[in-house]
């Protein structure tokens, strides 16, 4: 018996060795990480809000579980390729984005004639079909074969929506830290193509397996097929109305969010490096579970206050559902990558954090949890299409 355990221990050592991960986490989670994940946690730099740690790779999923269960953050950490890169990022971290200083953004709402008919065309049936399609893959885990297949399917689906439009392109973005590429659909602007509006969400999924491993079954219907379906519906309606944009609009399906915002961080950083004028970012991560009285809950931390206010007016004007606010902590989703890079980002979420879908990160995160419908997600699609068109004028 003892021999068998020795073999298992040796095998896991072989799998993971003692490879280390370089991560940033919310400083408020350090003591819980020490208590529940790694008693000998290495804290490389402790900041007021964000701290840099070194963690054994084999403990990553335990950390992800802690962040998910105790803090409602998915993943709740950002993964870095190297310590040097992490220090560089921490040094240039701009908690409060100062985009207003770069150019004035008017958050006026005055495109009713254009927006209303588009909002009315948002359709539950076509939205739920995308959730069903993506959650039918056994898993979209960033290292899995089906995780790549799902991305390739999405790319070809987005291409079919943009067919015949010379101003629309769909590209794969390869990443250094994951085999899974991100997908970006771009509508090239006509009058102000240098100004960019981003609507994004992650395409990967994750679920816990036995013995604290990664499960091969991770449908991720709510986390986050729902966000991808929501933005796909916005693309469908814009294309079917031959919408031409003044600014450049980019829809992004990010790779490998669940293992530390890997895809979105690389993309946001490259936009910053290129000096791209990103005028607004909306994150769609979990839009299809109505857990609270409020229909749409805007996260107020690691997001942009002025843009959040703009979005609440968009909801009141075009969606007419109840909205609220909450906090979800550091790196709770890809919006943190854009905020860290100094761009105005918002994260409208499906519910208050305490009421969120508890089936996520398990094989039970299926469409059945939302009664095989997308009635909640289409509220987000209406909000997102209005956001894009109003910001685009």
Which residues are identified as catalytic?
A: 202, 223, 257-258, 285, 361
Residue 351 and residue 296: Cα distance in Å, rounded?
A: 6
Taking the complex as a whole, how short is the minimal distance between the CB of residue 137 and Zn ion, in angstroms? 16
Which lies closer to Zn ion via its Cβ, residue 74 or residue 389? 74
SS3 4: helix
What phi and psi values does residue 194 have, to the nearest 5 degrees?
A: -75, -15
- Cα-based distances in Å from 236 to 7, 44, 162, 201, 254: 53, 46, 8, 16, 19
> For residue 165, what are the contacts with CB-CB under 8 A and spacing of at least 6?
187, 239
Residue 289 and residue 366: Cα distance in Å, rounded?
A: 11
Strands 77-80, 168-173: parallel, antiparallel or unpaired by DSSP?
unpaired
Q: DSSP code of 218?
A: B
Site string for Zn ion, 77-116 (x = CB under 5 A): ----------------------------------------
SS3 190: coil
Taking the complex as a whole, how short is the minimal distance between the CB of residue 338 and Zn ion, in angstroms? 15
Write the burial class of residue 376 (CB in 10 Å: 0-12 exposed, 13-18 middle, 19+ buried): buried
Taking the complex as a whole, how short is the minimal distance between the CB of residue 27 and Zn ion, in angstroms? 22
Which lies closer to Zn ion via its Cβ, residue 225 or residue 237? 225
Which lies closer to Zn ion via its Cβ, residue 202 or residue 247? 202
Question: Which among 93, 101, 103, 98 has a CA at the least distance from the CA of 344?
Answer: 98
Partners of 56 in beta bridges: 20
Q: DSSP code of 170?
A: E
- Using the contact rule CB under 5 A, the part of the chain among 68-76, 119-127, 138-146, 335-343 near Zn ion is 68-76
Which lies closer to Zn ion via its Cβ, residue 374 or residue 391? 374
Which lies closer to Zn ion via its Cβ, residue 224 or residue 346? 224
Site string for Zn ion, 284-323 (x = CB under 5 A): -x--------------------------------------
Give me the sheet containing 20-26, strands edge to edge: 42-46, 50-56, 20-26, 77-80
Strands 50-56, 20-26: parallel, antiparallel or unpaired by DSSP?
antiparallel
Position 74 contacts Zn ion (CB under 5 A): yes
Q: How far is CA 341 from the centre of its chain?
A: 15
Taking the complex as a whole, how short is the minimal distance between the CB of residue 233 and Zn ion, in angstroms? 18
Which lies closer to Zn ion via its Cβ, residue 74 or residue 235? 74
How many residues in the shown chain lie near Zn ion by CB under 5 A? 4
Taking the complex as a whole, how short is the minimal distance between the CB of residue 74 and Zn ion, in angstroms? 4
Taking the complex as a whole, how short is the minimal distance between the CB of residue 223 and Zn ion, in angstroms? 4
Site string for Zn ion, 195-234 (x = CB under 5 A): ----------------------------xx----------
What phi and psi values does residue 170 have, to the nearest 5 degrees?
A: -125, 130
Position 390 contacts Zn ion (CB under 5 A): no
Which lies closer to Zn ion via its Cβ, residue 74 or residue 249? 74
Question: Which among 161, 223, 187 has a CA at the least distance from the CA of 350?
Answer: 223
Taking the complex as a whole, how short is the minimal distance between the CB of residue 102 and Zn ion, in angstroms? 29
Taking a C-beta distance cutoff of 8 angstroms, is the pair 95, 330 a contact?
no
What phi and psi values does residue 122 have, to the nearest 5 degrees?
A: -60, 125
Taking the complex as a whole, how short is the minimal distance between the CB of residue 218 and Zn ion, in angstroms? 11
What phi and psi values does residue 253 have, to the nearest 5 degrees?
A: -105, 105
> For residue 156, what are the contacts with CB-CB under 8 A and spacing of at least 6?
none
Residue 391 and residue 393: Cα distance in Å, rounded?
A: 6
**Which spans of this chain sit near Zn ion (rule: CB under 5 A)?**
74, 223-224, 285
């Amino acid at each position: 018996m003892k021999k068998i355990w020795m073999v298992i221990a040796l095998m896991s050592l072989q799998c993971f060795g003692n490879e280390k991960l370089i991560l940033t986490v919310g400083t408020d989670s350090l003591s819980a990480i020490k208590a529940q994940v790694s008693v000998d946690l290495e804290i490389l730099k402790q900041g007021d809000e964000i701290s840099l740690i070194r963690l054994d790779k084999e403990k990553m999923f335990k950390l992800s579980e802690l962040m998910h269960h105790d803090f409602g953050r998915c993943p709740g950490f950002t993964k870095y390729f190297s310590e040097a890169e992490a220090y560089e990022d921490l040094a240039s971290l701009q908690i409060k984005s100062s985009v207003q200083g770069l150019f004035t953004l008017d958050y006026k709402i005055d495109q009713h004639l254009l927006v209303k008919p588009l909002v009315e065309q948002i359709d539950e049936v076509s939205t739920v079909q995308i959730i069903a399609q993506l959650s039918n893959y056994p898993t979209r885990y960033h290292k899995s074969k089906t995780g790549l297949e799902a991305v390739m399917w999405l790319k070809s689906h987005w291409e079919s929506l943009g067919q015949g439009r010379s101003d629309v392109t769909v590209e794969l973005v390869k990443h250094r830290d994951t085999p899974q590429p991100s997908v970006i659909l771009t509508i090239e602007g006509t009058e102000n193509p240098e100004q960019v509006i981003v609507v994004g969400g992650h395409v990967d999924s994750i679920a816990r397996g036995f013995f604290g491993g990664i499960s091969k079954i991770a449908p991720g219907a709510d986390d986050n097929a729902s966000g991808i379906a929501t933005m796909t519906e916005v693309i469908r309606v814009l294309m079917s109305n031959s919408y031409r944009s003044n600014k450049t609009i980019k829809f992004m399906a990010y790779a490998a969010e669940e293992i530390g915002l890997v895809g979105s961080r690389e993309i946001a950083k490259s936009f910053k490096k290129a000096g791209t004028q990103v005028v607004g970012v909306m994150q769609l991560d979990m839009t299809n579970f109505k857990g609270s009285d409020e229909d749409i809950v805007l996260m107020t931390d690691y997001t942009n206050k002025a843009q959040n206010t703009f979005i609440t007016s968009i909801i009141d004007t075009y969606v007419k559902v109840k909205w609220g606010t909450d906090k979800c902590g550091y790196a709770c989703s890809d919006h943190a990558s854009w905020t860290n890079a100094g761009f105005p980002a918002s994260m409208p979420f499906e519910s208050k954090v305490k009421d969120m879908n508890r089936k996520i990160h398990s094989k039970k995160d299926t469409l059945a949890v939302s009664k095989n419908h997308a009635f909640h997600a289409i509220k987000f699609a209406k909000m997102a299409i209005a956001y894009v068109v109003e910001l685009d004028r």
